[in-house]
């Protein structure tokens, strides 16, 4: 993949301006599915969960849990217009795909090895963008670095793939953003450790067994979201080692998830 002088200039520009992508009223939500949300297993969602007011069905909670202050909206939320979660997310998606970007063509992410990308806007053209391996997002010493990935069709991750932010400025809240604007659908493979907000435009999203999302959320603007024993967190922290998330964070959460599940079984 290309990473050149233009990317460095983008970093400087990002550090001097407000956040590129504003989710508005959708920001508190970890999961939004316009055609509803289906969960299997002991998922733990750190953020609100909802379908739309037109198709509000949310199933599988319990055994899934929405952790306070997150709210499970059984009647759905507004799906059109400014000031509604789906309307504001649609505006965010349109902003994301309209930004000037580095054209990465048909390249894959990770490609079975390690790939490092600085803050910037990256555009892909392949039918399916595949994350296979470790994608490191280099924050270049900032806790407010931003990345936008413009994916015109589908996003898929291979099992056990990882997205990680490295080289943050300091330990504490990471207030940057990672946005995945996906034209079709997203599917996270089993035990994928993912970072950022997925906004898919024309099809449903699926998180396979054990996949996790940190620093973000999963949103389908026109279809449903399917979960299977997942952990999703809207917020995130930079560690003293300069990484996000802390390597053990999702492991601890997954253990906690299994303990809750076993207690319910008994």
Dig out the tokens for 90 from the structure: 């649609």
Closest CA to 205 of 236, 184, 174: 184
Quote the CA–CA distance of 20 and 23 in Å, as a whole number: 10
pLDDT tens, 200-242? Answer: 999 999 999 999 999 999 999 999 999 999 999 999 999 988 8
Whether 141 shows a pLDDT value over 80: the answer reads yes
Whether 194 shows a pLDDT value over 90: the answer reads yes
Whether 52 shows a pLDDT value over 60: the answer reads yes
Rounded alpha-carbon distances, angstroms, from residue 176 to 49, 96, 120, 239: 22, 15, 12, 14
Give the range among 48-52, 131-135, 260-264 with minimum mean pLDDT.
260-264
Which pLDDT does position 80 carry in this prediction? 86
Q: Model-level pTM greater than 0.85?
A: yes
Which pLDDT does position 5 carry in this prediction? 31
Which pLDDT does position 18 carry in this prediction? 58
pLDDT band for position 258 (cuts 50, 70, 90)? very low
């Amino acid at each position: 993949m290309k990473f050149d002088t233009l990317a460095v200039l983008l970093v400087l520009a990002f550090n001097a301006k407000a956040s590129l992508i504003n989710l508005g009223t959708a920001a508190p939500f970890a999961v939004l599915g316009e055609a509803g949300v289906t969960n299997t297993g002991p998922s733990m969602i750190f953020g609100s969960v909802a379908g739309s007011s037109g198709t509000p069905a949310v199933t599988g909670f319990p055994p899934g849990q929405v952790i306070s202050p997150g709210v499970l909206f059984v009647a759905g939320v507004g799906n059109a217009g400014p000031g509604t979660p789906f309307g504001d997310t649609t505006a965010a998606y349109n902003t994301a795909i309209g930004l000037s970007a580095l054209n990465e063509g048909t390249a894959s992410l990770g490609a079975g090895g390690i790939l490092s990308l600085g803050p910037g806007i990256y555009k892909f053209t392949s039918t399916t963008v595949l994350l296979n391996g470790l994608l490191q997002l280099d924050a270049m010493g900032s806790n407010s670095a931003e990345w936008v990935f413009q994916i015109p069709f589908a996003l898929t991750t291979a099992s056990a793939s990882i997205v990680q932010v490295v080289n943050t400025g300091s330990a504490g809240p990471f207030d940057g953003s990672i946005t995945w604007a996906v034209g079709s659908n997203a599917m996270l493979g089993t035990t994928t450790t993912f970072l950022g907000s997925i906004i898919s435009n024309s099809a449903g999203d699926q998180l396979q067994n054990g996949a996790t999302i940190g620093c973000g959320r999963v949103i389908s603007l026109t279809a449903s979201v399917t979960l299977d024993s997942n952990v999703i967190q809207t917020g995130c922290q930079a560690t003293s080692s300069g990484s996000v998330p802390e390597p053990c964070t999702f492991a601890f959460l997954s253990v906690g998830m299994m303990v809750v599940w076993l207690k319910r079984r008994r």
